[in-house]
Amino acid sequence: MPRLALHAAYPSSLADPGLAALVRAVAEETAEHQGVPPPAVTIFADRIELDAELPHAVLVAIAAEVRRATGRWHRAKFGTPLWQGE
């Protein structure tokens, strides 16, 4: 099963249950919008992992949208990046 990970900018960024729920919801909504089954989202304090029986390109597109949408929201709300490399 293909797996992609997004790493948080700070070690415990994703430990907040509210933020973790937002990230999961964006992944599921993005998959629904694309008409594909949602990936399994595993959330750790420092990263998320997306697993799905989808073409790699589709999983990358979902991960990119999760990163874009949640990163923009986090920067607007807290003034800091959520993901590494932002």
Domain span at residue 13 reads: 3-78
What φ, ψ does residue 19 adopt, rounded to 5°? Answer: -65, -40
What pLDDT digit, counting tens, does each position of 51-85 carry? 999 999 999 999 999 999 999 999 999 999 999 99
- Total count of domains within the chain: 1
Report the distance separating Cα 80 and Cα 74, nearest Å.
7
Report the distance separating Cα 76 and Cα 43, nearest Å.
22
Q: Is residue 13 part of a domain?
A: yes
In degrees, rounded to 5, the angle at the alpha carbon of residue 70 between the alpha carbons of residues 69 and 73 is: 90
- List, in sequence order, every residue forming a beta bridge with 5; answer none if it has no partner: 49
Residue 11 DSSP symbol: T
What pLDDT digit, counting tens, does each position of 36-48 carry? 999 999 999 999 9
